[in-house]
Amino acid sequence: MTDSGNYSWRGGFCIEVSPIPNTIVIFGASGDLAHRKLLPALFSLYSNKLFHEKSRIVGFARTPMDDNAFRDKVAESLKDKAKNFPPALLGEFLKKIYYVSGEYENPESYKLLSERLIDIDCKNCISTGRIYYLSIPSALYSPVVKLLGDAGLVTENQSGIPWRHVVIEKPFGRDLESAEKLDFELRSVLKERQIYRIDHYLGKETVQNILMLRFANRIFEPVWNNNYIDHVQITAAETVGVEHRAGYYDNAGLLRDMFQNHMLEMMGLVAMEAPAAFDADSVRNEKVKLLKSIRPFNLKELDKNIVRAQYASGKIGASAVPGYLEEPDIKQSSKTETYSCAKMMIDNWCWQGVPFFLRSGKRLEKRVSEIAITFKKIPHSIFDPIRAEDLAPNTLVLNVQPDEGLALTIQAKQPGPKLCMGSLSMSFKYSDVIEGEKPEAYERLLLDCMLGDQTLFIRSDSIELAWSIFTPVLKTWEERPETCPLCTYPAGSWGPTEADELMRRNNVIWRRP
C-alpha cells in the first residue's frame, strides 16, 4: 500500500513524493540513535519540504523532561547541521517537537501518550497517520507493541487510513526460533503491512542504485548471469572495534550482526531476477525467490566454505589498538567472532556455478563497503604474445560507503607502442555529480515510512529464510567448534590468513579496496 501524496519533479526523471500529515513517535528519544540519525534526518526532510507542515514529532523515553527541555536537547544535536540553513528554519522545526516521559512496560505511560497524541491532533485540527519508531533494545519490541495495541494506539480503520506504522531496527531475533517467536508476537497485534523492519544499508544511494543499474540499462542484464560472470565479492569492512556495543556484540557476533541482514540483502539485490514492477511486493517477492535458491552450508565440511576469526592487538593507521579480548566488558574466554567470510552458491539457472564471496569484519585495514562483480576472462587473445590469462578481467565495483559510486574496469590501449594496453577504470562518485548535501540513508527510509512504501524494508519471510541459512552454522559453532576453528588476525589487517586460503582453493584472491 502506498499512501496518497503530491508528486513534484526535481529535474529529469527525478520524482519525489510529498507525504500526507503524520505524527512520528520516537521511542528511545533520549538515546544515541535518535539524536545522531533520526532527528537530523527528519530535519533534512523538513528543510527539503518533504515533511508535511502539519506533521509532528513526539519523543518518548524514561528520562524526565518537558517539551522545552527536549527541544533544547534536539537543538544541540542539530547545531552543526543547522548551520547550512537560515536561522529561522531550526526554530520552526523545533516547534513541531513534543515530549512524553514514561516507562516502556507501564500501561499507564501509554494512556498518557495517547492523551498527548489526541491533544496534538486536536490542536492541528487533523487526524494524522502515525509512525512508532522503536529505537529501543530489541528485547522491548514485543512488550511495547503489545502495550501499543492494548492502548488502541495501532488500531486502523477498515481502509487503513489514518495508518499506524511501527518501525523496528535489527536484530530481528538471534536465530530462526527467536525470529519466528518475535514475528508471531508482532503479528498478533499488527498486520504485516504495518511493520517496517529497517536496514539502513538499504537506504544508501548505491544499494538503491543496484536495481536501476541492472533494470534501467539494457547493456547489463544480458551479461548478468553465469555465462559471463566469474564470481562476486561483497565486502563490509570497519576499522572500529566494538566500542560502546560490547554487551550486545559479545552475545551476537559478526555473523548475526552483519551476514543475516546487511550482507544477504546486498547479495539479494545483486542476484535476484527482474521484478514485475518497482513496488514493495514485486521486489520483495523476487528477493524471497533468490533466498530460497541459496545452497545450504555443508555442516560436515564447514571450514571449507566459511571462516570465523577474532581480532588481536595491532595498529589502525599509526595508532596501537587492543585485541578483542582486551576490550572493556569483553569476557576473557569469549569465542565471539569479529570477522567472517563465506563462499555461498545459488542453485538456479542464472547463477549455477558462480561463487559469491562475502566478508565482513571489525578492526580491518580500511572502512569500506562494496560489491565487486568480476566477469570471466576473454576466451582467446589475438594480441600475441599477450595471453588471455595475462589480461585482467572486467570488474564492476559498486561502492556503498564511504565514497558512494561505481567503477568499471576495462582493458584499453595506452599511449606508446602499437601493442600497449592496460586496465582503465571508468568511475564516478555521487559526491562529484550531485550538487549539495547527499541524502542520508535514514532520510530515504523515514520518508518511505511516511509514504507507506515498504520496498526498502524487510518482509518477515525474508528474515526467516535468512535465519534458516545461518542458524545451522551458528549451532554448529556452538556444539562442534572444531569443525570451524576460531582464527585470529591482527587489527589493521584484511583478516586471517585462513580467509586467503579459502579464496586460493577457489582460484580467486580477495580484492584490496
Helix (H) or strand (E) holding 110: helix 107-124
Is the pLDDT assigned to residue 252 strictly greater than 80? Answer: yes
Pairing of strands 56-61, 22-27: parallel
Question: Distance between CA atoms of 96 and 42, rounded to whole angstroms?
Answer: 11
**Which pLDDT belongs to residue 431?**
74
pLDDT of 6 > 80? The answer is no
Rounded CA-CA distance 275/215 in Å is 9
Mean pLDDT of the 185-196 span: 94
- Give dist(CA 513, CA 506) in Å, integer: 20
pLDDT band at residue 154 under the 50/70/90 scheme: very high
CA separation (Å) from 408 to 167, 206, 212, 378, 432?
37, 14, 16, 16, 17
CA-CA distances (angstroms) from residue 187 to 136, 146, 464? 19, 10, 14
**3-state class (DSSP) for residue 299:** helix
Write out the H or E segment, with its range, that includes residue 507: none
Least-confidence region, from 21-35, 169-183, 425-439, 455-469:
425-439
If you average pLDDT over every residue of the chain, what do you get? 89
Which regions of the chain carry the CATH code 3.40.50.720? 6-169
Beta bridge partners of 422: 412
Across residues 314-334, what is the average pLDDT?
Answer: 92
**All CATH 3.30.360.10 domain ranges in the chain, comma separated:** 202-377+459-504
1 pLDDT tier (thresholds 50, 70, 90): very low
Whether residue 5 has pLDDT greater than 50: no
The whole-model pTM stands at: 0.89
Domain 6-169: homologous superfamily in CATH: NAD(P)-binding Rossmann-like Domain (3.40.50.720)
Among 42-46, 86-90, 91-95, name the one with the lowest average pLDDT.
86-90
Query: Looking at residue 306, what is its pLDDT?
Result: 96
Phi, psi (rounded to 5 degrees) for 294: -70, 130
Residue 87's pLDDT is what? 80
pLDDT score, position 230: 97
Phi, psi values for residue 468, rounded to 5°: -65, -25
> Which residue type occupies 215?
F
* pLDDT classification of 2: cutoffs 50, 70, 90: very low
Q: Where are the alpha helices (DSSP H) in 34-175?
A: 39-47, 67-77, 79-82, 87-94, 107-124, 141-150
Instruction: Look at residue 10 in the predicted model and tell me its pLDDT.
Output: 40
Of the listed ranges 155-169, 247-261, 336-350, 485-499, the one predicted with least confidence: 155-169
262 an active-site residue?
A: yes
Q: Distance between CA 348 and CA 338 in Å, rounded?
A: 31
Q: Residue 88 — pLDDT band, cuts 50, 70, 90?
A: confident
Residue found under cell 541524502: 439
Domain 202-377+459-504 sits in CATH at 3.30.360.10
Rounded to whole angstroms, how far apart are CA atoms 357 and 178?
Answer: 27
| CB 306 within 8 Å of CB 345 | no
pLDDT at position 390 over 90: no
Cα 509–chain centre separation:
26
Which of 35, 52, 200, 262 is catalytic? The answer is 262
Query: What values do phi and psi take at 343, rounded to 5?
Result: -100, 125
Which cell is 213 given? 543499474
Q: Is the model's pLDDT at 470 over the cut of 90?
A: yes
151 vs 110: CA distance, rounded Å: 6
CA 267 from centre of chain: 12
Residue 355: strand, helix, or coil: coil
In three-state secondary structure terms, 483 is helix
Q: Compute the distance between CA of residue 45 and CA of residue 458 in angstroms, rounded to an integer.
A: 23
Confidence of residue 121 (pLDDT cuts 50, 70, 90): confident
Residue 12 has pLDDT above 70, yes or no: no
